[in-house]
Structure 1
Amino acid sequence: MIRVLIVDDEPLVRIGIKSTLSQCECNLEIVGEVSNGIKAKEILSKTEVDLVLTDIKMPEFNGVELIKWIKESQLNIKVVVLSCYNDFEFVREAFTYGAFDYILKYDIDVQSINNIVCKVKEDIDKERQTSKAARAGNNSRERINTDIRIIKNNILKELLTGGNDFERSQVTVQLQRANISFNCAALFRVVCFEVDYPYEYDKRFANKPATLCSEEVKNAISEYIRTICSFEIYCESNYRYFIILDVSEIKDKLSDPQSILDTFVHMRYLLSKYLNLSVSIGISTELLGYENLPELYKQALNAIDNKIFEGAGFIACYDNTNSKKHICCENIEKIKAKIIKEITLENFHGIIGLLAQLKKEFHVVEKDVSAYEVKLTYVSLVEVIKVHFHNELKEFESTGLEGIKDLRQVNFLNDLHDQIVDVVIRIANIKISILIKKDYSEGVLQSINYINTHFSEETLNLTKVAEIIGYSSAYTSRIFKQETGKYLIEYINEVRIWYAKKMLENPKNKVYQVAEKVGYANYNYFSRIFKKITGVSPSEYIGE
């Protein structure tokens, strides 16, 4: 039974969430609903709650303050944030205080709520299993081994993340309890292994239990590392693993950066060869004593952070001169604001051009921004797209096309850019819908995609399109006419006039300005084409 508390200052939202929760597959109980964080604190202080669904912006005591209070009160409660697309700065802060997940208010439906609640239930069940394992007596050998693995992973997590402020004597007891033979005063190094393509990983291991998959990865790592030194492996998730190395006795062997890199380059190769698994690796420095494990953990994460710019198979040692400053880049925010404006205007050419600028700017400031900040920018843009193009995205699903992936599991800037551009192109095709056939050849489809998103370029013509898709002009023209029944220049004009009609619906747009915006430098030529396609002149169209 999952006990749920709903916190939102909008009564209709609370009613909607209650209604949706009532249709969930998981066994749950709504223990209360309140309008702000202060009232939530009162309930949480006297009622057992497993899950809090909380709004971010509320009067008196907002969602971030509530999450912070829950953490400081050491309450074992999962918090899921209810946000709007423009709440992402608050969402970022919420995650720093331990928020479990977030969901957009616009996306709340039975499926999304059910997915969230099931994730929470799975996590709670694991924790309850761990707690039960800690109290267990004499069970079967297999059950004991499983319990020890869970206990060990939790202890390693606490040591690495600083979850508990143990005295050294307490640490020794905890390590012995979990069959960990570390010397607390040893010289340590921490190495982070991160799966490059989580979606491919999930597909490959779809028919295996998650715990079995992680054990396979840990076993593969262990086979190689045990020939070098004593170690333990903490599994943070199926996609990220941390190796704590005791390098006290092998300092000379792994003392210089090149020998360290060579060692883990070979480790990366073995994972690719035997598990067909692409990973990136971040390596910390060396520090004495278990007290420094949290610092080494941060260093390993910092070292691997640049993979988002470098690509799959990235490997690096920590360098404190290159540590991220986590600054707010003004240019990034300006470009993001422009993209949001173009989304609301449905200017697909503008969106794609600005996305290219955004990608370029991230490369300019890559030493100052973290992978988290890059992903957050793209995730927030996707949420704007989801809201504005809700109906078009529904059409993706109805036609069997894959919708927008969870970009939080996309690890590279190029992939983030490509995926959001692909969605924009598909939305543009649906919105324009001049050509509705679905099974064009690759060359014709590429031509349509390019025209739909580059129509405003004055130089757009058959030669340019042929160059982009890699065919000759003659062949491009022939296959386009054969498959669509239209000449390519005819389609370019139809797309331009389609956009021109949309722009002319706004009385603030002058006809000559619209002509330039859709790719016609010559106003008279624009007027002739407009009348040829619509049957009326631009002036007649707007009723002048």
Structure 2
Amino acid sequence: MYRLMIVDDEPLTREYLKRYFQSCGGDWEVAAEAMDGSEAWELLQSRPVDVVITDIKMPVMNGLDLCKLVSERYPHMKLVILSGYDEFSFAREAIQYGVHDYLLKPIVKENLDETVRRIAADLDKARHEDLALRTLRSLSNDTTSQVIKHFLKAAVAENELEIKTLYPLMYRLNLSLIEAEGAVMMLDLDMHHLLHSSVPVSDVALFRFILHQVAGEIVQQEGLGTAFLDEHQQVCCLIAGDNEEEIRQRSSVLHEKTGNFMRQNTNWTVTSALGSAEDDVLKMHQSYYQARRAMYCRLLAGGDRLYVYAEQQPLLRRVGELEQSVASIQSVLLDGTELAPSLTVGGLVDLMEKRDGESIFRYGVLVIQHLAEIRQLQLRDSQQGEAAQLALAKLKNAVLSHPEDFSKEKAVSLLVEIVNLFRAANRVPDDEVRNEKSIVEQAKDYICSHYSEPLSLAHIAEKVGVSTAYLSNLFHKQMNESYIKFLTRVRMEQAARLLKLNPPEKVYDVARKVGYISVKHFSHVFKQYYGTPPGEYANPKS
């Protein structure tokens, strides 16, 4: 049942509305009536309702003043105003106070019906969301931790469907993962240990699990950030800090402590890679892909160390060639052509500085890992793990059987066999063609209207009716900036406007009104954007 208050100085209007809602069955209850805004405000202190329907022109306190008070004190309460044709300018002014709808006098029943239907739908949605939120807040800390890890997994993979579900949830649970900046760090076992030990291939997954648990415990104990697994079961950590240098130091601590534990207890060594520092959790996919690139460096300069993307530019030029070769091999898996494997694998073999058994094994592991990722995306089940284990066992046996230097032909033949274990088909649907400018304008309009809410690219793409990837590319093409930069600009401009009011709004209130959970995070972004903290911007020193 929805509780309603009617506020109007005309008895006939109050009586009409009361009879109307009584005819709606048991869904609505007229909990209170008032002749002006002052009386209504007094009643609301003791009789909270779901909806207030109020006239604009009334004695003592008019409807606009009542709406302002209600919006400030009871922001979740729905407001509907009644106005005559000559009062339309007042109705427009009331919109800034969160008025849900307005009705013209004399009231037309069909218009009232439509307004009531919309309000009831909104109230139902709000109640269901509130119930879900209260249920989630009652869950354990472990469950909340799993929500965070699932969100990070989705964020770095740009899984917009899950981001669309989890990001608003994170926002409503006040789960801020970074206060200023954060970067993704990737950790991986150095697989050459497998070549020279009696560890069975099937146990690699076990040691990766141990690596994940160890990294997670160290991250938690040291307060470094959050450990999680990406969609390929690769160990990753979101390292948070106030700046790049602090993030770099924290990453070194994690790498050293994790590596020492694994070396002393399992004989495995660990290589880590750190991506760029970002100021928004929705940009962590950029840091993640840089960490993935930096991880290639161990093929060129050895493992058992931490590679920081920003510090590896000379090596990264060679990494680019490796990426192209691996991408070519992955394309073989996607298009299924028969002649391509030997050509693409040959290109990778040409990049090897030497072709001894250990080098062949390292590069073969790289191929297996990337083909397993493609296979995983195609099958979404355990078959990809079985294919990877079979390929890894074949690679190990072949290298141990012929530990001497490989000829190019022999190396190519072995890696082609590996590729053929993963051959599968893949289909990628085409995006629908629509007016590009119109799509971007719709996206911009939606951002400008909803900047105070948790907005992800997936959510915006759904609203304008296109795919996430298509909207991302289109936004860059039309605007020469990403959607997240545009959103940040809108939020910062609105924040500056609120801070310049007389008197200025409090920084805490401004942060919430422009879509930030954490005041510290908001202040960090604001200072980067305007060059001064929000407090000083609101009250500049004379």
- TM over 0.5, yes or no? no
Which structure has the bigger radius of gyration? 2
Classify the TM-score, shorter chain. Answer: 0.3 to 0.5
Structure 2 length-normalised TM:
0.33
Higher relative contact order (CA 8 A, sep 6+): 2
